[in-house]
């Protein structure tokens, strides 16, 4: 923290309580049973999680006290909406919620202002998108969104892009047992004019891989599909695709 600061918003960070995963689950169950004190304990026991997240944003010149308070709002939302039957760690759900809350704060307080009408259109589009996804179990296309909102497709695209905060390709988006998936893992590219050269080299290098490894690398690097698309096609999780892809690439690198 700045200048070795250990106190944020009047909280001595060196004395923050840390809960075990078992304690978190017990408190969550008590909270769902109506124990208000359990919620307070969960908030206090997860403040270090908020601190770990706001460290990612310290290079923006923002006030740490402000970021901490906003992060705590995200933490409380995560606590209130976390499903104890998901079978995942609380931090797996909580970190994206905290990050999202901070990003909204930074976006809304950005010096580059987005017009009110454009912002309103974006929020309407996001609401319509969520309703459509809940009803049809899939995200709507831009054309479908435009039809729902009765506006031009280009206006929907412009509105949604206006509220997107740029992220690093190395921003982690999910972690499963130490296998972290980054933004770049979800990006596909099949428009590079030099891809044909890469294809020749890759085809030679993957000769000794298993059929499954060849199939995954082919879809990822020859067809330009994302890990999510690959996972859906072959019927495994995205984390498993990431794990298999990295193992296959290590073999390829070794051969090369």
Do 102 and 148 fall within a single domain? no
Last-in-domain residue among 131, 162, 193:
162
CA separation for the pair 25, 32 (Å, rounded): 11
| 46-69 residue pLDDT tens | 888 888 888 887 766 677 788 888
CATH for 247: 1.10.10.10
180 within a domain of the structure (yes/no): yes
182 within a domain of the structure (yes/no): yes
Do 13 and 40 fall within a single domain? yes
pLDDT tens, N- to C-terminus, the chain (256 residues): 444 445 555 566 666 777 888 888 899 999 888 888 988 898 888 888 888 888 887 766 677 788 888 888 989 988 888 888 877 888 888 888 888 888 888 776 655 555 667 778 888 888 888 888 888 888 888 889 889 999 888 888 887 776 665 555 555 655 555 555 655 565 555 554 445 445 555 566 667 788 888 888 878 777 778 888 888 888 888 888 888 888 888 877 766 5
Structural domain count of the chain: 3
226 within a domain of the structure (yes/no): yes
167 within a domain of the structure (yes/no): no
Do 50 and 89 fall within a single domain? yes
Do 38 and 130 fall within a single domain? no
CA separation for the pair 93, 110 (Å, rounded): 26
Do 98 and 125 fall within a single domain? no
Do 15 and 104 fall within a single domain? yes
Exposed, middle or buried: residue 227 (CB in 10 Å: 0-12, 13-18, 19+)?
buried
Do 158 and 202 fall within a single domain? no
Do 148 and 103 fall within a single domain? no
CA count, 13 A, side-chain hemisphere, 101 = 21
Do 35 and 84 fall within a single domain? yes
Do 232 and 250 fall within a single domain? yes
Q: Is 180 left (phi over 0), alpha (psi -120 to 50) or beta?
A: beta
What range defines the domain where residue 43 resides?
2-108
204 within a domain of the structure (yes/no): yes
Do 138 and 97 fall within a single domain? no
pTM above 0.75, yes or no: no
9 within a domain of the structure (yes/no): yes
pLDDT at 12: 60
Orientation of helix 36-45 relative to helix 64-81, angle to 10°: 130
56 within a domain of the structure (yes/no): yes
What are 175's strand-pairing partners?
A: 180
Q: Quote the tokens at residue 132.
A: 């459509």
| 129-161 residue pLDDT tens | 888 888 888 888 888 988 999 988 888 888 777
241 within a domain of the structure (yes/no): yes
Do 15 and 73 fall within a single domain? yes
CATH for 58: 1.20.120.1810
Q: Quote the tokens at residue 178.
A: 């130490």
């Amino acid at each position: 923290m700045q200048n070795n600061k250990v106190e944020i918003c009047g909280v001595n960070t060196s004395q923050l309580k840390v809960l075990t995963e078992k304690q978190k689950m017990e408190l969550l169950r008590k909270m769902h049973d109506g124990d208000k004190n359990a919620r307070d304990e969960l908030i206090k026991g997860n403040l270090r999680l908020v601190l770990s997240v706001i460290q990612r944003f310290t290079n923006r010149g923002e006030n740490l006290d402000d970021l901490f308070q906003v992060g705590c709002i995200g933490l409380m939302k995560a606590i209130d909406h976390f499903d104890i039957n998901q079978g995942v760690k609380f931090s797996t759900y909580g970190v994206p919620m905290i990050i999202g809350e901070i990003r909204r704060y930074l976006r809304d307080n950005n010096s580059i202002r987005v017009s009110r009408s454009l912002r309103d259109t974006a929020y309407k589009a996001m609401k319509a998108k969520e309703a459509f996804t809940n009803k049809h179990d899939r995200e709507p296309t831009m054309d479908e969104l435009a039809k729902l909102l009765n506006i031009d497709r280009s206006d929907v695209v412009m509105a949604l892009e206006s509220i997107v905060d740029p992220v690093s390709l190395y921003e982690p988006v999910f972690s499963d047992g130490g296998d972290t998936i980054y933004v770049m893992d979800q990006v596909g590219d099949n428009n590079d004019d030099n891809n044909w050269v890469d294809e020749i080299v890759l085809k030679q290098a993957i000769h000794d891989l298993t059929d499954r490894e060849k199939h995954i690398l082919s879809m990822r690097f020859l067809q330009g599909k994302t890990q999510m698309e690959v996972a859906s096609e072959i019927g495994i999780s995205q984390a498993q695709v990431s794990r298999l892809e990295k193992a296959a690439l290590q073999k390829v690198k070794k051969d090369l």
